[in-house]
Structures are given as structure tokens and as C-alpha cells.
Amino acid sequence: MKIALGVEYNGTHYLGWQRQQNLPSIQAELEKALSVVANQNIEVFCAGRTDSGVHATGQVVHFETNVDRPEKAWEFGTNANLPDDIAVKWAKIVPDDFHARFSATARRYRYILYCNRLRSAILPTGVTHTHLDLDYNRMREAGQALLGERDFTSFRAAQCQSHSPWRNVHSLMVSRFGDYIIVEIQANAFLHHMVRNIVGSLMEVGCGRKPESWIAELLAKKDRTLAAPTAKPDGLYLVNVQYPRRFQLPQTPLGPLFLPDELPAFIIERLKLW
């Protein structure tokens, strides 16, 4: 039997998704909890291996077991054995050909910037604080140069293990919600640190240090050393993974927190004025 799970977590206190010897990871905690419910060792496979300090509201994983449990048992039983900063949102029995990583057709990330000259005590984690006065319209316009299937060498980490730097970015949106700027990027897949490197460079455009054309220039030069420093992991969330409809996986709000799935421009502007 193959089971898929929707998983949410605050990655602040973990060294990423992937299991590591004697180090805290999301995978290790989830496998430990599932193994208690199944009364046998469980190994899970995820849609996207998030880095140290990165969060998720829409991670998808799967595992195989010969233990017969109702879906509610996998949900409530696993949550009862997980730490407070990791939670199962749904469980579903899936066909044998389902794979959390290889069946996925797209992944969507949201990066949240808190733009204020002073830090927040209410959200000390889960957002990236910046004192910069960022123009989200400039960031959005500059980001359109990244749409489509392109070579993202300028935005990949030096330690990236992918065989190819080519990725297909489906959409890139930048919105403002009060003091918060949200950068949302969807692609077929992502390179190591790709979203954080893109956000770091968009911030340079947003604060006026670089022109809007700079992002296109970086893309063309295929040189990571020319781009901005990598943005912090604090504000990054994996919010959605898309699969073919035939798998009929549950759909949950993207989040995080108060953010709706869609942020219409007129609402954003009104909130900014308020």
C-alpha cells in the first residue's frame, strides 16, 4: 500500500528536510512518528528537499507499508507523535505509480519579506526582515525576464548537484500586503538556492541599487558571482506541489498564516493605504 501525506512545518530548528546523522531534520522526525503508527520502520520520499531553516505549508511525501490503517489514523496518529512545529495536513491512499517527487508537474514557493526599519517581535521567525524601502512594482517587472524555460546558472548555488541549469518558470509574482512583500514563484522544478538567489537579486532592484534590466542581464551572463547575495531562509515557504488530476490529492490553502491563495492588486493597494 502506498500513502501520500500533505505536510506542514516550521523549518527554523531543523537542518533541512533530508535525514542527517545526529542532526535534526524534518524527514527524520516524520519517519520516526510514522514508524510508531505503523509499528514498523517507514521511509518517506518528498516532493522537494527544503534547505536548513526553510518552511513548508504544502510539502507532499509518500511512503509504502503493508500495514492497514485508515487515513485518519495516519493523520491523527502521526501528529500525536510529531513535535509541534511539524504537522500532517492530510493522508490519502494513492496508486502504486505515484511518486511524490517524480509525479510532480510543478512546485510553488512564496518568499515573505517584512519591510520595516525595525524588526518584529511577533514574527521573529517565518519572515525575512529588511530595513530596505522596496518597490514591489520594480521587483515584479524585473522578474518577468525569468519566465519560461531558461538557463538559471546565475541563480544556482555553487554546491548545486543538478546535472542541468535549465528550468521552466511558469509564473513570478510580487505583491504587497501592508509591510509585507510576497514573492511567489512557480516552476517545473528548482535548482539549489534558486528562489533565494532570485529574491536576493530582486531586492537589489527593489531598493533602487540596480535597474530593472539587471535581472535579464544576470540571466544572460550565466555567472553566479555577478548576482546578489543569497536571501535568508527565514521567509521561504514551499506552498504547493502540483500533480496530474488523476491522483486526486487534497487541496489546502497555500498560506502561510493570513495569506490567501490570490492577492488581487486592488486589495493589496488598499491595504497598503490603510
Task: State the cell numbers at 114.
Answer: 517584512
Question: Which residues, in sequence order, are CB contacts of 81 under 8 Å at separation 6+?
Answer: 32, 33, 36, 37
State pLDDT tens for residues 121-143. 988 889 999 999 999 999 999 99
2-103 has which fold? Alpha-Beta Plaits (3.30.70)
Alpha-carbon distances of 214 from 111, 143, 231, rounded to whole Å: 20, 10, 17
Please report, for residues 9, 50, 66, 114, the alpha-carbon distance to residue 97 in angstroms, rounded to integers and kept in the order given. Answer: 26, 24, 16, 41
What is the model's pTM? 0.94
pLDDT band at 262 (very low <50, low <70, confident <90, very high): confident
CB atoms within 10 A of CB 52: 17
> Which pLDDT does position 270 carry in this prediction?
42
Q: Are 127 and 180 in contact (CB under 8 A)?
A: yes
Going by pLDDT thresholds of 50, 70 and 90, the confidence category of residue 264 is low
C-alpha cell at 18: 533530508
Mean pLDDT score across all residues of the chain? 94
Q: Using the structure block, give the residue that is written with the C-alpha cell 487541496.
A: 251
CATH 3.30.70.580 domain locations along the chain: 2-103
Q: 80-97: per-residue pLDDT in tens?
A: 999 999 999 999 999 999
Amino acid in the structure at residue 270: R
pLDDT band at 181 (very low <50, low <70, confident <90, very high): very high
Instruction: Kindly tell me if the per-residue pLDDT of 23 is higher than 60.
Output: yes
Q: Range(s) for CATH 3.30.70.660 in the chain?
A: 106-238
CATH tag, 106-238: 3.30.70.660
109 in a labelled binding site = yes
109 has a pLDDT exceeding 60: yes
Give the confidence band of 113 by pLDDT, cuts at 50, 70, 90.
very high
| 135 noted as active-site residue | no
Active-site residue among 51, 68, 84, 151?
51
What integer pLDDT is reported at residue 242 of this predicted model? Answer: 97
